[in-house]
Structure 1
Amino acid sequence: MKLISIKRQTRPEERFTPKMGLLQTKVTYIKKQFLNIPFKTLHKYRETYYGEIKDCEECNLAR
């Protein structure tokens, strides 16, 4: 059994960008886990409508 593992999870979220406004997109989180308990998010990114991969730093949460 591994003590430290890395897991990828995708879930839909609402994001706000100044150019496009409110959009609902799939956001992928890469998390580090210790004994299957997540404790750190390593990276999060989203896929655009056109298939490009963008970092989530450039858009804000809508809520």
Structure 2
Amino acid sequence: MKIIKFKRNTKHEKYYSSAMGTLNSRVTYIKKYVLGFPIKTIHKYRETYYGEVKNCDDCNLFI
């Protein structure tokens, strides 16, 4: 069994863009697991309406 593992998870979230309003987007989380427990989110990115991949710090997410 591996002690440290990295896992990628994708889910749909709503976010707000000032130019286009409220949209749904696929947000991908890369998390670090130690002994099967999530420890830290390494990176969070999303796919835009036009197919580009951007960092999630650029948008306001509604959760």
Report TM bin, short chain.
over 0.9
Q: List runs of 5+ in structure 1 lacking aligned partners.
A: none
**For 2:21 and 2:62, how far apart are their aligned partners in 1?**
9
Q: Cα RMSD between the aligned structures?
A: 1.0
Aligned to 2:16: 16
Q: Percent identical across equivalent pairs? A: 56
Q: TM-score, normalized by length of structure 1?
A: 0.92
| 1:1-63 map, 5 Å | 1-63=1-63
Q: List runs of 5+ in structure 2 lacking aligned partners.
A: none
Runs of 4+ in 1 over 3 A off after TM superposition: none
How many residues align? The count is: 63
What do the CA deviations read for 1:3-48 (whole angstroms, capped 9, x no partner)?
0000000000001111111000000000000111111000000001
